[in-house]
Chains A and B, each alone.
Chain A
Amino acid sequence: DAGVTQSPTHLIKTRGQQVTLRCSPISGHKSVSWYQQVLGQGPQFIFQYYEKEERGRGNFPDRFSARQFPNYSSELNVNALLLGDSALYLCASSLDVANEQFFGPGTRLTVL
Chain B
Amino acid sequence: GQQLNQSPQSMFIQEGEDVSMNCTSSSIFNTWLWYKQDPGEGPVLLIALYKAGELTSNGRLTAQFGITRKDSFLNISASIPSDVGIYFCAGQNNAGNMLTFGGGTRLMVKP
Contact = CB atoms under 8 A, between A and B. Distances in A.
B58 interface: no
Determine which residue in A48, A56, A98 has the highest number of CB atoms from chain B within 10 A of its CB, and name it.
A98
B102 A106 contact: no
A37 to B, nearest CB: 9
Interface stretch (B13-21, B71-79, B93-101): B93-101
Question: Which size class do B's interface residues fall under?
Answer: 20 to 34
Contacts of B67: none
A5 to B, nearest CB: 11
A78 interface: no
Interface stretch (A11-19, A38-46, A61-69): A38-46
A90 B42 contact: yes
B48 A100 contact: yes
B42 A98 contact: no
Contacts, number: 68
B98 A42 contact: no
Given A4-B42, A42-B3, A42-B88, A98 B99 contact: no
A111 interface: no
B28 interface: no
A45 B89 CA distance: 14
Given A42-B88, A98-B92, A100-B48, A58 B43 contact: no
Contacts of A106: 41-42
Contacts of A92: 42, 99
A52 to B, nearest CB: 15
A80 to B, nearest CB: 20
Interface string B76-111: 000000000000101010011111111110000000
In the A-B complex, the 4 residue pairs with the smallest Cβ-Cβ separation, listed nearest first, are A98-B96, A42-B101, A103-B42, A56-B97
Interface of A: 4, 33, 35, 41-45, 48, 50, 55-56, 58-59, 90, 92, 97-106
Given A42-B6, A44-B101, 7 more contacts: A42-B4, A50-B97, A58-B1, A90-B43, A104-B42, A105-B41, A105-B42
